Structures are given as structure tokens and as C-alpha cells.
Amino acid sequence: MRKEKKTQYKNYNAVLCMGAAENAVRSRMKRLGDVITNEGVSIENIMVLGAERKLWPLKKDGDSRSFPEPILYDILARRLTQRDGKTVLPEEVKEYILNLEIKENAVEKIAEEVAADKYFSSIKWPTETDLICEVIKQNPVFDAQKIIVVNTPDFPDGKRADSARTIKYAYKENSDIFVAGAKILQISSQPFTRNQKRVAELNLPSNVEIDVIGEGIDEGKSFEARKKDVMIGMDSMARTIYASYGKIKENILSKNMIGNEYRR
Amino acid sequence: MNSEKIKYLAYKELGFSPCEHKYFDELLEQIVKVRGLSDEDNPIHKSKNYENVEALIGNINNFLQKYALRAGERIDIKPPEMTEENILAFEKFSTICK
């Protein structure tokens, strides 16, 4: 969960590109670009595993997930330009949003409220899926690649799709890719590689091989920075187990172990 | 089936290889320490009479959701207080568990 993880193979049937924040997506796509151009790795399908979560337009203190994503203003400006037939700059969009009176408090609700403003009427508010697609579009390395976009809907109760739901949805829509013996690459970063791999293993057929790569955690940090790393690492571990929990229970049942080996 | 066997199978189901088991034990102990809990709060403490693998995994999951998630910072739970020793133990865990 700390050291860098590198590719094990030279050919993959698909790479799963996931991410909810611009910085992480940019760094993962850059890493994928390096793997293709500098390490001679061949990838048949680039799968964008996104979700319908609306991008947050404003910073809210105390919540590291909610930093505004600059790419949001770029996408909105382009869509407004197309709608109105005159050039709208990203800075203008940003300024407009910053001047809005926001009544909501929760980050997801802020996105809903801003998206509902009359200035954005008939504009589809950019989502997590748009973010990943946009970052890919900006990197010429991916121009010749086959891109498959999977736009996972939120949960029925409105919560944003998590990794498990996204991978399940990708499999449901593209089961022909995940055939026996297929090699699937995931791009992540530490301390999340274990979580990502575990979630994929539990939600894809067991005869598919999962490989995950990710940048390591920098050493030699300050006490406070190391403390933060520990908190993030523990959080990731807790999420790994939470995300696996339902599937593990299913596995135990399907192995028919209750009543014999797994019961007293 | 004794508690050790149940714990072994539970860790296996959670995706830990055998050489990682003792480090996960240490991780749970460290969470108990930094949260200022008592040993009995540890889901694998010997006083816990877990009945089967599924029950133990459920207890571990609940414990981590309450004390390891960053979003789980609640007013009724003591905030984590880490020393250099705790951090080193966590770092060792995350180095061993790839």
C-alpha cells in the first residue's frame, strides 16, 4: 500500500480508468500514457469507468474531496458557447458561479443548485465521466486508442456510484471483454491499489486476471504529512473491506460453507 | 472450530495472504491505541466469542467503519492521537500489505 506498483505484462485486453477528482485522474492518465509510450505496453480497449456524479463547482473548506475542478469551467464554457453561438470563456463561467448566492450546504447539493441556475438551462452539467473523457481527449497518446465509455448511474437512493457498482456496470455492458484469461489493467495510486484490485477481483469473473499499477507514497515527509498518509491508508483499508463485505458474504454462502467448514 | 481457525479463514476471505495476517492483527491493535479504546473493543480480542467467519468479518467491518474511516470522525468518538511509534507501525503494515 506504499510502494509503487508496475505492470506485470506487455499486453492487456483492457485498462479500467477510474477517478473522481481532477488531479488524480490527470496523474493516472499521465501514468497510463507513459506505460503505453515508454514501456511498450499494448492495450486493446481503454475503458472509462465514470459515474453520473455532478462535478463540484466550488470549494468547501474541510472536505478534501470537494476542491473545485478547473476542468469543469472549461467544459461548461464550451457547452455554453455551443448553446449561445458566441464564445464564452472558462473565467466568465467561474466568475458567474462565484457570484451566485448558494443556499445549499452539502457539496453534492451545491452542484445540483448551481446546475439548476437559469444561466445553465439546457446545458448538461459535467459529470465524473465527462472529467475522465476530457482528460483523455487532451492527451494525444490516446488518439489512436479504442475508448469505451461506461457512465454508471447513481444508486437508487441518489448516492454516487462507488467503485464496485462502476465495475459491475462495466462488466454488465461489456462482458465480451472480460473473457476467461483476459488481462485487465487498473490505474491507481498508493494507498489505493489494494482496494481497487480487491473490488475488481470480487466483481469480475474469477478467471480474469487483474493487474494494478500505481505511484508509491513519497518517503521522508513531515510528521503531520505522514500522519495524514496513515489516515488515508486506514480509510482505504476500511473502504476495501466495506466494499468487499457483501460479496464476501455471497462467496461464503455460494461455497456452501455455512453449515460445515465456516460454522461451528 | 476454534477462534484461531475462524480468524484465519476470515482474514483469508478479506484478501490477506497468510504472511499478512499478523500485520493486520497489529493494525487493529494500533487503531485501538490511537483511538484510546480498551483492548476488549478490538474485534479479534480473545474475550470476543465470535461464532463463525461471517460474524467475525461483520465485526471487523463494523469496527473499521467506526474507527478507521476518515469520514467516520464523529463527536462521540475520541479523535485519533498518533505518536511516532503508532505511525511507524501503520507504515510497516502498509509496506508489508501490498
pLDDT, one tens digit per residue, over A101-117 is: 988 877 778 888 999 99
B28 vs A: CB within 8 A: no
Higher-pLDDT residue of A166, A254: A166
When pLDDT is averaged across residues B39-48 and rounded to a whole number, the result is: 88
Amino acid at A152: T
Sorted by sequence, the CB contacts under 8 Å of residue A170 that are 6+ apart come out as A16, A47, A49, A150, A152
When pLDDT is averaged across residues A59-70 and rounded to a whole number, the result is: 57
B55 vs A: CB within 8 A: no
Q: Which of A235, A240, A252 sits opposite B13 (nearest CB)?
A: A252
A255 vs B: CB within 8 A: no
When pLDDT is averaged across residues B21-33 and rounded to a whole number, the result is: 91
Q: Given an 8 Å threshold on Cβ–Cβ distance, is A264 in contact with B84?
A: no
The whole-number pLDDT of residue B71 equals 57
Q: Given an 8 Å threshold on Cβ–Cβ distance, is A238 in contact with B94?
A: no
Q: Judge whether residue A257 has pLDDT over 70.
A: no
Q: Given an 8 Å threshold on Cβ–Cβ distance, is A5 in contact with B98?
A: yes
Q: Which of B14, B31, B51 sits opposite A264 (nearest CB)?
A: B51
Q: Judge whether residue A148 has pLDDT over 80.
A: yes
What are the residue ranges of CATH 3.40.50 in chain A?
11-53+128-219
Structural domains of chain B, count: 1
Instruction: Tell the CATH topology of A11-53+128-219.
Output: Rossmann fold (3.40.50)
pLDDT, one tens digit per residue, over A153-211 is: 989 988 888 888 999 999 999 999 999 999 999 998 888 888 889 899 989 999 999 99
CA gap B71, A141 in Å, rounded: 37
Determine how many CB atoms are found less than 10 A away from the CB of residue B11: 22
Determine how many CB atoms are found less than 10 A away from the CB of residue A32: 23
Q: Judge whether residue A54 has pLDDT over 80.
A: yes
B58 vs A: CB within 8 A: yes
Query: Which residues from chain A sit within 8 angstroms of residue B57, using beta carbons?
Result: 241, 245, 248-249
Q: Judge whether residue A62 has pLDDT over 50.
A: no
**Percentage, residues of chain A above pLDDT 70:** 92
Query: Which residues from chain A sit within 8 angstroms of residue B58, using beta carbons?
Result: 245
When pLDDT is averaged across residues B32-60 and rounded to a whole number, the result is: 88
Q: Given an 8 Å threshold on Cβ–Cβ distance, is A241 in contact with B64?
A: yes
Query: Which residues from chain B sit within 8 angstroms of residue A248, using beta carbons?
Result: 13-14, 57
- Among the listed residues A106, A98, A91, A86, the one whose alpha carbon sits nearest the alpha carbon of residue A158: A106
Amino acid at A22: E
Nearest CA in chain A to B24: A237
- What is the average pLDDT value for chain A, to the nearest integer? 88
- Among the listed residues B68, B12, B6, the one whose alpha carbon sits nearest the alpha carbon of residue A234: B68
The whole-number pLDDT of residue B73 equals 57
The whole-number pLDDT of residue A195 equals 86
**Percentage, residues of chain A above pLDDT 90:** 55
Can you give the length of chain B in residues?
98
The whole-number pLDDT of residue A256 equals 53
The range of the structural domain enclosing residue B89 comes to 3-96
Q: Judge whether residue A67 has pLDDT over 80.
A: no
The whole-number pLDDT of residue A81 equals 98
Under the banding of pLDDT at 50, 70 and 90, the label for residue A31 is: very high
Q: Given an 8 Å threshold on Cβ–Cβ distance, is A252 in contact with B53?
A: yes
